Amino acid sequence: MVDLVWRKWRLPIVRLIAFLLCWAWLETAGVIASIAFWAAGQKRNVSLHYTLQRWWAGGLILALRATVGLRIEVKNPEVLVPGPLVVLSRHASLADSLVSAWAMGNIAGLHPRYVLKRELMLDPCLDIVGHRLPNYFLNRTSNNVQEELAGVAALSKDLGHSDVSVIFPEGTRANAAKRQRLLEKLTERNPERAQLLAPLTMLLPPGSADVLLASAMAIAILMFAMWLFSLAIKNASIVDIVWGLGFVLVAWVTHSVADGNDARGWLLTLLTTAWGLRLATYLSWRNIGHGEDYRYKAMRKHHGAKFPLVSLFTVFILQGVLMWLVSLPVQLGQVSQGPDIGVLGIVGIAFFAIGLFFETVGDIQLAQFKANTANAGKVMQTGLWKYTRHPNYFGDACVWWGLALIAAEAEIGVVGIVGAVVMSILLRKVSGVTLLEKSLKKRKEGYNEYVARTSAFIPRPPKKI
C-alpha cells in the first residue's frame, strides 16, 4: 500500500519485506542449527560451522536474487586457490561482506576469517557462529588500540592452504563522496583528528551507519521469534506486550550504530525506552494470566488450522512494518550531527511529557475503576476520562509527535514526522479509537451518551446535554 501511495511501481518496500522474511527464516534456522551442534558436542567443530556458514550465505544470496533481482558475476575465482591468503576487500555496499563470504566460501571453497565490527554481534546467528569460527569482532570505540590490532593480526597466523583472512581497510560502504563529506563533518567537530585522517586516502573516516536496515533486521528477528513463541504458548496476545519493547530495541540498535549528535541520540533513546518499558510493563500486568485477547481468539476461530500462518503475516509482520515506520523519528533523529537541541527539541520534550502523563495517569485511573467490582459494566467518565474518551491514545500520539519534533532538528530527521503521522492515523482511525469503540458501544451501558458529551481524542470540557 505504501509503495502504491508513493507511486513506487517496482514495489521496493514489498521486496524489502520479502527479503527480511527470508532472512529471518535463515537466521532462525542458523541459530537452531548452532544450538543442535552444541547439544551434539560439536561446538568446536570448525569444519561443520563453515558448512553452516556456506549454507547461510548461499541462502541469503538466493533470497536476494529472488526478491530484489541481485545478479553476481565472479571473475577468475581460481586465483583464490590455493591459500593461504590475506584479502583486502572493498566495502562499497551493505552486501559486500556477504558477497565475499559467498564467493570465497561457496565458489572457491575457502575458509574465510573476517575482521568484523562489533555492532554485528546484534545479529544472533552471526554472533554465535561468528565466535565459533576464527573471526575477530573489532571494537571501533575501544581506547585499547593495541589490543584491537593484536586481535586483527591474530587472524593471519597459522593460515592453511584453504584459509583466507579478510579485512575491509577502508571501512564501511566506502566511496569518495562519502569520504569527503565525513571529513568535512569531522573538521567541524575535531580539526586535529581530521587533519591526521585527510592524507589516508584509502581509509573512510568515522561516520553514520545504515540505521534503517539495522532496525529493520532487528525488528524482523524480534517479530519472527515472537511468532514462534506465540505458536508454542498458543497465544498471539504476546505481540501487544512486544509492541512497546520493539521500540526500545530499535532505539538501542540505532544508538549503537548511528554517529549523530550525542545529546539528541541519548535523548531519543532514553525517552523511547521510558515510553516502551512503561507500556510493556502495564500490558504485561494487565494481560498475563488472562488468556488470549478476544481479537485474536476471533481470528483463531475464523481461520482454524490456517491461523498460525495468517497470524505471521496479519499480526506479527504487519506490526513489525508499522513499528519500523512509526519509529522513523527515533532512527533518523540519531543519524545526523545537526545542531544541538534547540527550541523545537524543547517543544518536543514538552509534548512527550504531556503524552506520557496522559498515558500513565489514564491507565492508572482506568485500572482503579475496573478494580472496583461495583463498576462492572459501567463507563469510566471521571478524571482524565471526563475530558477525552481515550486519554491513553491521546497521550500516545503526543509522545510520538514529541519524538518527531526532537528528531526534526537533525536534518534528515524531519522525515521522521512520517512516523508520528502513521501513529496518529492508527490511533484515531484504525486500531485505536475506531476499533475499540465498536465493541464498547455494544458492551457498555450508557456509552452512547458518554460519546455524545465527551471528546473522542483531544481533551476538552464535556458538552452539556
Least confident of 48-57, 157-166, 202-211, 416-425: 202-211
Ranking 27-31, 150-154, 170-174, 330-334 by mean pLDDT, the lowest is 170-174
DSSP-assigned states of every residue in 260-310 = S-HHHHHHHHHHHHHHHHHHHHHHHHHHTTS-S-HHHHHHHHHHGGGHHHH
% of the chain surpassing 70 pLDDT: 85
Same domain, residue pair 45 and 160: yes
- DSSP β-ladder status, 85-88 and 163-167: parallel
179 pLDDT band (50/70/90 cuts)?
A: low
Encoded amino acid at 283, one letter? L
Q: Is the pLDDT of residue 242 over 90?
A: yes
Q: By residue range, what is the domain housing residue 318?
A: 211-453
> What confidence score (pLDDT) does residue 207 get?
41
How many other CB atoms are found less than 10 A from the CB of residue 432? 22
CB-based burial of residue 325 (10 Å sphere; 0-12 exposed, 13-18 middle, 19+ buried)? middle
If you average pLDDT over residues 162-191, what whole number do you get? 70
Of the candidates 322, 338, 320, 349, the residue with the CA atom closest to the CA atom of residue 414: 338
Query: What 8-state DSSP symbol labels residue 91?
Result: -
Distance, CA of 77 to chain centre: 36
Q: What is the pLDDT of residue 182?
A: 66
Stronger pLDDT, 465 or 425, i.e. the higher one: 425
Whether 142 and 224 share a structural domain = no
Domain contains 269: yes
| 257 and 157 part of one domain | no
| 221 shares a domain with 134 | no
- Which three three-digit cell numbers place residue 37? 551442534
Of 167, 202, 229, which closes a domain? Answer: 167
Q: Is the pLDDT reported for residue 141 higher than 90?
A: no
Residues 15-35: what's their mean pLDDT?
82
Confidence class for position 205, pLDDT limits 50, 70, 90: very low
Average pLDDT over residues 215-242: 89
Q: For residues 274 and 252, give the distance between their C-alpha atoms in angstroms, rounded to a whole number.
A: 12
Assess contact for 95 and 64: CB atoms under 8 A.
Answer: yes
What 3-state DSSP class applies to 167?
A: strand
Please report the pLDDT score of residue 189 as a whole number.
63
Least confident window among 119-133, 193-207, 418-432 = 193-207
CA 307, 310, 312, 318 torsion: positive or negative?
Answer: negative
The number of beta carbons lying within 10 Å of the beta carbon of residue 309 is 11
pLDDT, tens digit, for every residue of 79-115? 777 778 888 776 666 566 778 888 888 888 888 888 8
| Mean pLDDT, residues 216-236 | 89
Number of domains in the chain: 2
Best CA proximity match to 129, nearest among 30, 54, 61, 47: 30
One domain, residues 222 and 156:
no
Residues 362 and 437 in one domain: yes
Q: Would you say residue 146 has pLDDT above 80? A: yes
Task: Express as a percent the part of the chain with pLDDT over 90.
Answer: 22
More confident residue, 269 or 429: 269
Question: Is 75 a domain residue?
Answer: yes
pLDDT over 80 (residue 383): yes
196 in a structural domain: no
Beta carbons within 10 angstroms of residue 119's beta carbon: 18
Structural contact between residues 105 and 112, judged by C-beta atoms closer than 8 angstroms: yes
For residue 326, give the C-alpha cell.
Answer: 512509526
Better pLDDT: 388 or 429: 388
Of 188-197, 339-348, 380-389, which range is least confident? 188-197
- Does residue 140 carry a pLDDT above 90? no
Which three three-digit cell numbers place residue 76?
577468475
Q: Residue 100 CB: number of other CB atoms within 10 A?
A: 20
Note whether residue 133 is domain-resident: yes
Residue 384 has, within 13 A of its CA and on its CB side, a CA count of 23
Q: Quick check: 177 pLDDT over 70? A: no
Q: Are residues 291 and 348 in the same domain?
A: yes
**Residues 268-301: tens digit of each pLDDT:** 999 999 999 999 999 999 888 888 888 888 898 8
Residue 181 pLDDT > 80: no
Q: Clarify whether residues 361 and 262 are in a common domain.
A: yes
Domain co-membership, 107 together with 246: no
The whole-angstrom separation of Cα 225 and Cα 219 is: 10
Mean per-residue pLDDT over the chain, rounded: 82
458 in a structural domain: no
How far from 72 is each of 52, 87, 99, 211, CA to CA, in Å? 21, 19, 8, 25
Q: Is 29 among the domain residues?
A: yes
Question: Rounded mean pLDDT of 195-221?
Answer: 66
In terms of domains, do 151 and 242 share one? no
Structural domain includes residue 340: yes
Weakest-pLDDT range from 31-40, 62-71, 263-272, 383-392:
62-71
Report angle CA 333, 254, 320 to the nearest 5 degrees. Answer: 100
Q: How high is the pLDDT of residue 349? A: 94
| Alpha carbon distance 317, 325 (integer Å) | 12
pLDDT of residue 200: 57
Q: 180-184, 404-408, 423-427: which has the minimum mean pLDDT? A: 180-184
Whether 191 is covered by a domain: the verdict is no
Q: Are residues 306 and 436 in the same domain?
A: yes
Same domain for 25 and 120?
A: yes
Q: Which has the higher per-residue pLDDT, 145 or 296?
A: 296
Average pLDDT for 329-356: 89
Nine-digit cell string for 290: 488472562
How does residue 206 score in pLDDT terms, banded at 50, 70 and 90? very low
